[in-house]
Chains A and B, each alone.
Chain A
């Protein structure tokens, strides 16, 4: 069906993951951080699904489901934390989260 080598798909997966990781390091507000985390997980998912297709084995697709479960939980808990943070600090700048600094 698709005549593309697996390495191209892996390049794509690495690219998406690296953009997510860079975004995670550049951003300073909590919402963008969570969004970049989702992007990184999406990059990982591309690799899982591609390997699943390469070996004609559903294990990769099932790992995709587990990753998506974790992503859903992580975003739900993360957003709840951000809402609580906003309630206390009235902003979502992460450099303000310094109450534990010595």
Chain B
């Protein structure tokens, strides 16, 4: 067994283990930490696959931006167990795990065919630079898939506006609040 294979199998085992812990740990912060580990290991797997740029983006965007947002929100809410609720019962959990396992088996049987058991080919040079390098990916992205790229930009903009709308609260108008409260007390005073 060569070193690449050993690395692949250890990465794969750790990825599956951390994925299981993400799904099974009760507290959100623990799930988030295991998911961060999972993303790092996946980035390692991408390096093994030769997609260097993708692996750096995995760390930069997933681990560095998205999960930071999660950890930040968990920190901001500072929940105690009462607030994030009880767990599903054992029957439901085991049923779901069983169905999940069945799905995995069925899917795996589909791809366990001899022609898919061939080894991966060697990495070649593409038009611009080695496969998976930033030059190669960006040439294809900005030539053949430029509409996808633009739509991704629009989706990001929409998400930005949406989050802005969701998070927006009208600034409290102090003067009016004081005014209404004084009139209320005046009414009360008049009644009593």
Contacts and interface: CB of A to CB of B under 8 A. Distances in A.
- On whether A and B touch (CB less than 8 Å), the answer reads yes
Given A14-B107, A68-B61, A31 B137 contact: no
Contacts of B69: 75-76, 79
Interface in A30-85: 31-32, 34-36, 38-39, 42-43, 45-46, 49-50, 52-54, 56, 58-59, 61-62, 64-66, 68-73, 75-77, 79-84
Interface in B86-110: 86-88, 92-93, 96-97, 99-101, 103-104, 107-108
A62 B141 contact: yes
Interface residues of B, number: 91
Nearest to B125: A56
Looking at chain A's contact residues, the main secondary structure is helix
A61 B137 contact: yes
B85 A19 contact: no
Interface in B4-28: 4-5, 8, 12, 15-16, 19-20, 22-24, 28
B186 interface: no
In this complex, the interface size class of chain A, counting residues with CB under 8 Å from chain B, is 35 or more
Nearest to B158: A73
Given A3-B119, A70-B155, A73-B155, 15 more contacts: A1-B48, A5-B119, A18-B104, A18-B107, A23-B31, A26-B87, A27-B23, A31-B77, A53-B123, A54-B121, A56-B126, A59-B140, A73-B158, A77-B159, A80-B163
